[in-house]
Protein backbone atom coordinates (compact mmCIF):
# COMPACT_ATOMS: atom_id res chain seq x y z
CA UNK A 1 0.00 0.00 0.00
CA UNK A 2 1.01 3.65 -0.31
CA UNK A 3 1.22 5.25 3.12
CA UNK A 4 0.05 8.71 2.08
CA UNK A 5 -2.05 10.44 -0.51
CA UNK A 6 -1.63 13.80 -2.16
CA UNK A 7 -3.93 16.43 -0.69
CA UNK A 8 -2.95 19.38 -2.85
CA UNK A 9 0.19 20.76 -4.43
CA UNK A 10 1.50 21.83 -1.01
CA UNK A 11 0.57 18.94 1.29
CA UNK A 12 -0.02 15.22 1.74
CA UNK A 13 -2.29 13.19 4.01
CA UNK A 14 -0.75 10.43 6.11
CA UNK A 15 -2.95 7.31 6.04
CA UNK A 16 -1.23 5.26 8.74
CA UNK A 17 -3.72 6.01 11.52
CA UNK A 18 -7.16 7.51 12.00
CA UNK A 19 -5.78 10.98 12.71
CA UNK A 20 -5.18 11.29 8.93
CA UNK A 21 -2.77 14.18 9.52
CA UNK A 22 -2.36 16.77 6.78
CA UNK A 23 1.35 17.47 6.35
CA UNK A 24 2.91 20.38 4.54
CA UNK A 25 6.55 20.17 3.44
CA UNK A 26 8.80 19.36 6.40
CA UNK A 27 5.91 19.08 8.87
CA UNK A 28 5.32 16.14 11.23
CA UNK A 29 2.09 14.42 12.18
CA UNK A 30 0.69 14.06 15.70
CA UNK A 31 2.94 11.03 16.23
CA UNK A 32 6.06 13.16 15.78
CA UNK A 33 7.87 10.64 13.58
CA UNK A 34 6.16 10.77 10.17
CA UNK A 35 6.79 13.82 8.04
CA UNK A 36 6.46 15.23 4.54
CA UNK A 37 9.70 15.26 2.57
CA UNK A 38 9.34 16.56 -0.98
CA UNK A 39 5.78 15.29 -1.26
CA UNK A 40 6.40 11.84 0.20
CA UNK A 41 5.84 10.38 3.67
CA UNK A 42 9.02 9.55 5.58
CA UNK A 43 9.09 7.57 8.85
CA UNK A 44 12.16 8.79 10.73
CA UNK A 45 12.28 5.75 13.02
CA UNK A 46 12.64 3.32 10.09
CA UNK A 47 15.50 0.96 10.94
CA UNK A 48 16.03 2.47 14.41
CA UNK A 49 14.36 0.45 17.20
CA UNK A 50 14.55 1.89 20.70
CA UNK A 51 13.69 -1.40 22.42
CA UNK A 52 14.50 -4.95 21.35
CA UNK A 53 13.93 -8.05 23.51
CA UNK A 54 13.13 -11.74 23.14
CA UNK A 55 9.98 -11.98 25.29
CA UNK A 56 7.64 -14.80 26.25
CA UNK A 57 4.53 -14.42 24.09
CA UNK A 58 2.50 -14.25 27.32
CA UNK A 59 3.97 -10.78 28.01
CA UNK A 60 2.23 -9.24 24.99
CA UNK A 61 -0.17 -10.46 26.49
CA UNK A 62 -1.33 -13.30 24.26
CA UNK A 63 -2.58 -16.42 26.05
CA UNK A 64 -4.24 -18.26 23.16
CA UNK A 65 -1.48 -17.82 20.60
CA UNK A 66 1.53 -20.19 20.47
CA UNK A 67 1.75 -20.66 24.26
CA UNK A 68 5.19 -20.90 25.90
CA UNK A 69 7.02 -19.66 22.82
CA UNK A 70 9.18 -16.55 22.58
CA UNK A 71 8.57 -13.53 20.38
CA UNK A 72 11.30 -11.15 19.29
CA UNK A 73 9.78 -7.84 20.32
CA UNK A 74 10.69 -4.36 19.14
CA UNK A 75 9.47 -0.80 19.43
CA UNK A 76 10.65 2.63 18.32
CA UNK A 77 9.74 6.08 19.66
CA UNK A 78 6.65 8.27 19.32
CA UNK A 79 2.92 7.68 19.70
CA UNK A 80 -0.43 8.87 18.36
CA UNK A 81 -2.01 8.68 21.87
CA UNK A 82 -1.30 10.83 24.93
CA UNK A 83 -1.97 8.38 27.75
CA UNK A 84 -1.01 9.89 31.14
CA UNK A 85 -0.55 6.39 32.58
CA UNK A 86 1.83 5.06 29.89
CA UNK A 87 4.28 2.52 31.28
CA UNK A 88 6.61 2.98 28.29
CA UNK A 89 6.48 6.79 28.26
CA UNK A 90 10.27 7.09 28.07
CA UNK A 91 10.09 5.91 24.46
CA UNK A 92 6.47 6.56 23.46
CA UNK A 93 6.39 10.20 24.53
CA UNK A 94 9.67 11.22 22.95
CA UNK A 95 10.51 11.73 19.30
CA UNK A 96 14.30 11.60 19.67
CA UNK A 97 15.71 8.86 17.44
CA UNK A 98 19.05 7.24 18.26
CA UNK A 99 20.35 6.75 14.74
CA UNK A 100 23.42 4.92 16.04
CA UNK A 101 21.11 1.94 16.62
CA UNK A 102 20.28 0.49 13.24
CA UNK A 103 18.61 -2.78 12.31
CA UNK A 104 17.38 -3.51 8.80
CA UNK A 105 14.29 -5.69 8.39
CA UNK A 106 16.61 -8.54 7.43
CA UNK A 107 18.64 -8.00 10.61
CA UNK A 108 15.50 -8.26 12.75
CA UNK A 109 14.33 -11.48 11.08
CA UNK A 110 17.79 -13.06 11.37
CA UNK A 111 17.91 -12.12 15.05
CA UNK A 112 14.53 -13.77 15.61
CA UNK A 113 15.68 -16.95 13.89
CA UNK A 114 18.96 -17.01 15.81
CA UNK A 115 17.08 -16.68 19.11
CA UNK A 116 14.62 -19.44 18.32
CA UNK A 117 11.67 -17.05 18.34
CA UNK A 118 8.46 -18.29 16.79
CA UNK A 119 7.17 -14.80 16.08
CA UNK A 120 8.06 -11.12 15.89
CA UNK A 121 6.03 -8.63 17.93
CA UNK A 122 5.63 -4.95 17.08
CA UNK A 123 5.08 -3.42 20.49
CA UNK A 124 6.33 -1.19 23.34
CA UNK A 125 5.15 1.96 21.54
CA UNK A 126 2.35 2.25 18.96
CA UNK A 127 3.45 0.19 15.91
CA UNK A 128 0.83 1.75 13.63
CA UNK A 129 2.97 4.89 13.38
CA UNK A 130 5.99 2.89 12.17
CA UNK A 131 3.95 0.54 10.02
CA UNK A 132 6.24 0.84 6.97
CA UNK A 133 9.15 -0.59 8.99
CA UNK A 134 6.97 -3.19 10.71
CA UNK A 135 5.49 -4.44 7.45
CA UNK A 136 8.86 -4.77 5.73
CA UNK A 137 10.03 -6.88 8.68
CA UNK A 138 6.78 -8.81 8.73
CA UNK A 139 6.85 -9.82 5.07
CA UNK A 140 10.36 -11.22 5.50
CA UNK A 141 9.33 -12.91 8.73
CA UNK A 142 6.41 -14.61 6.99
CA UNK A 143 8.71 -15.83 4.22
CA UNK A 144 10.92 -17.40 6.90
CA UNK A 145 8.10 -19.20 8.70
CA UNK A 146 7.69 -16.71 11.54
CA UNK A 147 4.38 -15.32 12.80
CA UNK A 148 3.71 -11.59 13.24
CA UNK A 149 2.09 -9.95 16.28
CA UNK A 150 0.72 -6.40 16.57
CA UNK A 151 0.31 -4.85 20.04
CA UNK A 152 -1.66 -1.67 19.53
CA UNK A 153 -4.06 0.92 20.91
CA UNK A 154 -6.33 0.27 17.94
CA UNK A 155 -6.25 3.51 15.99
CA UNK A 156 -5.17 2.05 12.65
CA UNK A 157 -6.53 3.66 9.51
CA UNK A 158 -9.00 1.71 7.39
CA UNK A 159 -6.24 1.34 4.80
CA UNK A 160 -3.77 -0.15 7.27
CA UNK A 161 -6.40 -2.44 8.79
CA UNK A 162 -7.07 -3.89 5.37
CA UNK A 163 -3.36 -4.20 4.56
CA UNK A 164 -2.57 -5.97 7.85
CA UNK A 165 -4.68 -8.95 6.81
CA UNK A 166 -1.95 -9.97 4.35
CA UNK A 167 0.81 -10.47 6.95
CA UNK A 168 -0.29 -10.06 10.60
CA UNK A 169 -1.25 -13.24 12.49
CA UNK A 170 -2.28 -11.95 15.91
CA UNK A 171 -3.03 -8.70 17.72
CA UNK A 172 -3.58 -7.53 21.24
CA UNK A 173 -5.57 -4.30 21.22
CA UNK A 174 -6.11 -1.96 24.16
CA UNK A 175 -9.64 -0.95 25.07
CA UNK A 176 -8.66 1.82 27.46
CA UNK A 177 -12.10 3.05 28.44
CA UNK A 178 -15.68 3.20 27.22
CA UNK A 179 -15.92 6.96 27.63
CA UNK A 180 -15.99 9.13 24.52
CA UNK A 181 -15.02 12.12 26.64
CA UNK A 182 -11.99 10.38 28.16
CA UNK A 183 -10.67 9.28 24.77
CA UNK A 184 -11.15 12.75 23.34
CA UNK A 185 -9.98 14.99 26.19
CA UNK A 186 -7.28 12.85 27.79
CA UNK A 187 -6.04 10.36 25.20
CA UNK A 188 -6.51 12.80 22.29
CA UNK A 189 -8.16 10.22 20.06
CA UNK A 190 -11.67 8.89 19.44
CA UNK A 191 -13.38 5.90 21.07
CA UNK A 192 -15.50 5.17 18.00
CA UNK A 193 -12.34 4.81 15.93
CA UNK A 194 -10.99 2.20 18.33
CA UNK A 195 -14.28 0.31 18.39
CA UNK A 196 -14.33 0.29 14.59
CA UNK A 197 -10.82 -1.19 14.59
CA UNK A 198 -11.77 -3.87 17.12
CA UNK A 199 -14.74 -4.90 15.00
CA UNK A 200 -12.52 -5.06 11.92
CA UNK A 201 -9.96 -7.23 13.73
CA UNK A 202 -12.68 -9.54 15.05
CA UNK A 203 -14.07 -10.04 11.53
CA UNK A 204 -10.63 -10.82 10.08
CA UNK A 205 -8.47 -13.93 10.32
CA UNK A 206 -6.08 -12.11 12.67
CA UNK A 207 -6.25 -13.73 16.12
CA UNK A 208 -7.46 -11.06 18.55
CA UNK A 209 -7.05 -10.59 22.29
CA UNK A 210 -8.01 -7.43 24.22
CA UNK A 211 -6.41 -5.67 27.18
CA UNK A 212 -7.99 -3.15 29.53
CA UNK A 213 -5.92 -1.42 32.20
CA UNK A 214 -8.35 -0.72 35.04
CA UNK A 215 -7.47 2.60 36.68
CA UNK A 216 -9.07 3.63 39.99
CA UNK A 217 -11.47 6.51 39.49
CA UNK A 218 -10.99 6.54 35.71
CA UNK A 219 -12.53 3.48 34.07
CA UNK A 220 -13.19 1.04 36.92
CA UNK A 221 -16.85 1.71 37.66
CA UNK A 222 -19.16 -1.28 37.36
CA UNK A 223 -21.21 0.63 34.79
CA UNK A 224 -18.26 1.18 32.47
CA UNK A 225 -17.00 -2.38 32.86
CA UNK A 226 -20.51 -3.59 32.02
CA UNK A 227 -20.43 -1.48 28.85
CA UNK A 228 -17.06 -2.85 27.76
CA UNK A 229 -18.08 -6.45 28.51
CA UNK A 230 -21.34 -6.07 26.58
CA UNK A 231 -19.51 -4.62 23.58
CA UNK A 232 -16.98 -7.46 23.53
CA UNK A 233 -19.59 -10.17 23.95
CA UNK A 234 -22.08 -8.79 21.42
CA UNK A 235 -19.95 -7.05 18.81
CA UNK A 236 -16.69 -9.02 18.89
CA UNK A 237 -17.27 -12.52 20.24
CA UNK A 238 -17.35 -14.38 23.52
CA UNK A 239 -14.28 -16.49 22.63
CA UNK A 240 -11.97 -13.46 22.47
CA UNK A 241 -9.72 -13.44 25.56
CA UNK A 242 -9.99 -10.29 27.69
CA UNK A 243 -7.01 -9.29 29.83
CA UNK A 244 -7.95 -7.08 32.78
CA UNK A 245 -4.76 -5.49 34.11
CA UNK A 246 -3.97 -3.72 37.36
CA UNK A 247 -2.75 -0.13 37.20
CA UNK A 248 0.31 0.96 39.12
CA UNK A 249 1.32 4.62 39.52
CA UNK A 250 3.45 5.83 36.61
CA UNK A 251 4.25 8.80 34.36
CA UNK A 252 1.69 11.57 35.03
CA UNK A 253 -0.48 9.52 37.39
CA UNK A 254 1.87 8.99 40.31
CA UNK A 255 -0.78 10.08 42.82
CA UNK A 256 -3.36 7.54 41.62
CA UNK A 257 -3.46 4.38 43.78
CA UNK A 258 -2.83 0.95 42.31
CA UNK A 259 -5.81 -1.16 41.35
CA UNK A 260 -7.02 -3.40 44.18
CA UNK A 261 -7.58 -7.07 43.52
CA UNK A 262 -11.24 -6.68 44.41
CA UNK A 263 -11.79 -4.42 41.39
CA UNK A 264 -10.22 -6.94 39.04
CA UNK A 265 -12.18 -9.81 40.54
CA UNK A 266 -15.45 -7.86 40.17
CA UNK A 267 -14.60 -6.99 36.56
CA UNK A 268 -13.92 -10.65 35.82
CA UNK A 269 -17.27 -11.57 37.37
CA UNK A 270 -19.02 -9.03 35.12
CA UNK A 271 -17.21 -10.39 32.06
CA UNK A 272 -18.28 -13.94 32.87
CA UNK A 273 -21.85 -12.73 33.41
CA UNK A 274 -21.85 -11.45 29.82
CA UNK A 275 -20.66 -14.82 28.60
CA UNK A 276 -17.02 -13.98 27.86
CA UNK A 277 -15.31 -17.35 28.12
CA UNK A 278 -11.68 -16.45 28.76
CA UNK A 279 -10.85 -13.66 31.21
CA UNK A 280 -7.36 -13.12 32.62
CA UNK A 281 -6.04 -10.78 35.30
CA UNK A 282 -2.73 -9.02 34.67
CA UNK A 283 -0.05 -7.17 36.67
CA UNK A 284 -1.08 -9.09 39.79
CA UNK A 285 -0.32 -12.47 41.34
CA UNK A 286 -3.30 -14.69 40.59
CA UNK A 287 -4.42 -17.80 38.73
CA UNK A 288 -4.01 -17.18 35.02
CA UNK A 289 -4.38 -20.73 33.85
CA UNK A 290 -6.69 -21.57 30.96
CA UNK A 291 -9.63 -23.82 31.82
CA UNK A 292 -12.18 -25.43 29.57
CA UNK A 293 -15.23 -23.15 29.70
CA UNK A 294 -17.52 -26.18 29.53
CA UNK A 295 -16.11 -28.84 31.89
CA UNK A 296 -13.58 -26.62 33.74
CA UNK A 297 -10.67 -28.98 33.06
CA UNK A 298 -7.20 -27.42 33.33
CA UNK A 299 -5.94 -26.84 29.79
CA UNK A 300 -2.85 -24.64 30.20
CA UNK A 301 -0.98 -24.43 33.50
CA UNK A 302 0.83 -21.11 33.34
CA UNK A 303 2.07 -21.44 36.90
CA UNK A 304 4.19 -24.44 35.91
CA UNK A 305 4.37 -23.66 32.19
CA UNK A 306 2.81 -26.92 31.08
CA UNK A 307 0.28 -27.85 28.46
CA UNK A 308 -2.46 -29.58 30.39
CA UNK A 309 -5.34 -31.38 28.71
CA UNK A 310 -5.33 -29.23 25.59
CA UNK A 311 -5.01 -31.10 22.32
CA UNK A 312 -2.95 -28.51 20.48
CA UNK A 313 -3.57 -29.94 17.02
CA UNK A 314 -7.30 -30.39 17.33
CA UNK A 315 -7.83 -27.29 19.52
CA UNK A 316 -10.15 -29.28 21.76
CA UNK A 317 -10.46 -30.24 25.39
CA UNK A 318 -9.47 -33.89 25.76
CA UNK A 319 -11.97 -34.33 28.56
CA UNK A 320 -15.18 -33.11 26.94
CA UNK A 321 -14.21 -32.21 23.36
CA UNK A 322 -15.12 -28.51 23.67
CA UNK A 323 -13.49 -26.38 20.97
CA UNK A 324 -10.91 -24.02 22.47
CA UNK A 325 -10.40 -21.02 20.19
CA UNK A 326 -6.83 -19.90 19.57
CA UNK A 327 -3.70 -20.49 17.49
CA UNK A 328 -1.95 -23.44 19.09
CA UNK A 329 0.72 -24.36 16.54
pLDDT band with cut points at 50, 70 and 90 for residue 162: very high
Same domain flag for 134 and 258:
yes
Number of structural domains the chain divides into: 3
pLDDT tens, position by position, 74-116: 999 999 999 999 999 999 999 999 999 999 999 999 999 999 9
Same domain flag for 96 and 135:
yes
Same domain flag for 86 and 235:
yes
Distance separating alpha carbons of residues 207 and 56, to the nearest angstrom: 17
Same domain flag for 76 and 56:
yes
pLDDT for position 314 = 75
Same domain flag for 146 and 274:
yes
Can you give the residue range of the structural domain that contains 176? 51-288
Q: Render the burial of 301-319: b for 16+ CB within 10 Å, e for the rest.
A: ebeeeeebbbeeeebbbee
Same domain flag for 195 and 321:
no
- pTM as predicted: 0.97
Same domain flag for 69 and 107:
yes
Same domain flag for 165 and 306:
no
pLDDT tens, position by position, 169-193: 999 999 999 999 999 999 999 999 9
pLDDT band with cut points at 50, 70 and 90 for residue 278: very high
CATH number of the CATH domain containing 106: 3.20.20.70
Amino acid sequence: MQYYRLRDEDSITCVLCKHYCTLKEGKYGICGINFNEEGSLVTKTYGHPSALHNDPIEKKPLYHFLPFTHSLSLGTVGCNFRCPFCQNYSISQTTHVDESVEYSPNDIVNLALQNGSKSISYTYNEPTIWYPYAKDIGILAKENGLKNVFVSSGYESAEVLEDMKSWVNAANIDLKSFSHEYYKKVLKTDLDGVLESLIAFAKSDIWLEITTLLIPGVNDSEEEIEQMAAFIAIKLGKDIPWHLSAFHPDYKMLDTPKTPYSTLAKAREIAYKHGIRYVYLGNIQTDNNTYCPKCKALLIDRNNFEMGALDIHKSACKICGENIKGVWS
